[in-house]
Amino acid sequence: MKRKNYFTFVVTLVLCLALLAGCADKPSKPTDTAPIKLGGIGPLTGGAAVYGIAVANGAKIAVDEINALGGIQFELNFQDDEHDAEKSVNAYNVLKDWGMQILVGTVTTDPCIAVAAESYKDRIFTLTPSASSPEVVKGKDNTFQMCFSDPYQGIVSAQYIQEKNLGSKIAIIYNNADAYSTGIYEKFVSEAEARNLEVVSTTTFTNDTASDFSVQLSEAQNAGADLVFLPIYYEPSSLILAQAKAMNYAPKFFGVDGMDGILEMENFDTTLAEGVMLLTPFAADAQDERTASFVKKYKELHNDVPNQFAADGYDVVYAIYEALKDKDVTAETPASELCTQLIEIFTNDKFVFSGLTGDNMVWSKNGEVAKPPKGMFIENGVYVGMD
């Protein structure tokens, strides 16, 4: 090598090493796009899996859309609790160890009551998509609901039946071992009495006896009930519909949001649900651009029509996003600080959220959401709006 070129090489090498040394002295700046960690809990297996899978799918679509916008980022970790309270608490602890900052969940009522007690102690903001019992939010300033409450469903169901003149003699079959079912039942009965609806039969069951409904249906039939109110989940509802047909009993059946999912049940004969009515905050056949876009994307990804629970999961993530998008929060913000900020935002009258499951939603200080339900009936295996 020539002396001149050798000198040039040495000088260049020294300058590069100095530059690298200077870079090494500067601490790396954390990226502003590191995601805030959202934990999700719900049944992904077992008898209530239709609910949890739908919520998880809807929430994931929302996360992907929000992250594509390039601002605040989310990471979703969704755990299976099999609709079991103990397993739900275990899932919560897994998510807490992972570093969860906000909880999307849980999906079903009894597990959510157990988990909400833990998130309250840990000061982790909790927005449940579909756990609707007042016990979920009672005494917990950090827990909010995206779905309307059980008492509200009971009241509105009685109002709807009376105003639409859907039945003159009402039978009720409910699960007396389930907080969701009993909460709706109690308010339905009081509102039915106030509206002079005649309840001619009231029968119950438990989780252990939810296989044979011949006694309940026979009593309703013998009492002349022309409408059977079912404030229960879709799995026992499917058995009731099948057993009613087998005994040639054909009243109108009226359910609540827990029945949403019956059409997706494996091996369920959807003709059994023909004409069944229910109240739900989401209608997949709505023609607005927001719903149409979500339904199209959900069908493309999952080859299925989204139900109310998928829309709830989607709305939960977007409500959190709308609350935080203009705030000075990052992936480094402690969960307790996020909790304090989100409580202040959600209880502020100026925070109004519109989503798939309702327009102009607001939350009370006790965590309940205000939004109107929609009347639906099943026709040819799909939901059709009644209004």
- Is residue 214 situated within a structural domain? yes
Residues 41, 119 within the same domain: yes
Divide the 387 residues of the chain into consecutive groups of 10 and give the mean pLDDT of each group.
44 42 37 85 94 97 97 97 97 98 94 97 98 93 93 92 95 94 95 97 96 98 98 95 97 92 88 93 85 97 93 98 96 98 97 95 94 86 81
- With a CB cutoff of 8 Å and minimum separation 6, the contacts of 277 are 166, 252, 253, 254, 255, 375, 376, 377, 378, 386
Tens of pLDDT, residue by residue over 83-95, are 999 999 999 999 9
Q: Is 386 within the bounds of a domain?
A: no
Q: What is the pLDDT of residue 11?
A: 42
CA–CA gap between residue 317 and residue 119 (Å, rounded): 18
- Residues 155, 237: one domain? yes
pLDDT at 372: 76
Can you tell me the distance from the alpha carbon of 221 to that of 39, in angstroms, rounded to the nearest whole number? 46
What's phi and psi for 177, nearest 5 deg?
-105, 10
Residue-range definition of the domain harbouring residue 105: 36-148+288-372
215 three-class SS: helix
Q: Which residue has the tokens 């019992």?
A: 133
Q: What is the pLDDT of residue 32?
A: 53
Domain assignment of residue 337, yes or no: yes
Residues 181 and 135: their CA atoms lie apart, in Å, by 13
Q: What is the pTM of this model?
A: 0.77
| Residue among 205, 217, 163 at smallest CA distance from 181 | 205
- Residue 257 sits in a domain of what CATH number? 3.40.50.2300
What is the C-alpha to C-alpha distance for residues 85 and 89, in angstroms, rounded to an integer? 6
In sequence order, what DSSP letters do the residues of 44-111 get, joined into one string? SSSTTHHHHHHHHHHHHHHHHHHHHTTSS-EEEEEEE-TT-HHHHHHHHHHHHHHT--EEEE-SSHHH
Going from the C-alpha of 261 to that of each of 92, 166, 225, 249, 363, the distances in angstroms are 25, 23, 25, 23, 26
Same domain for 273 and 293, yes or no, is no
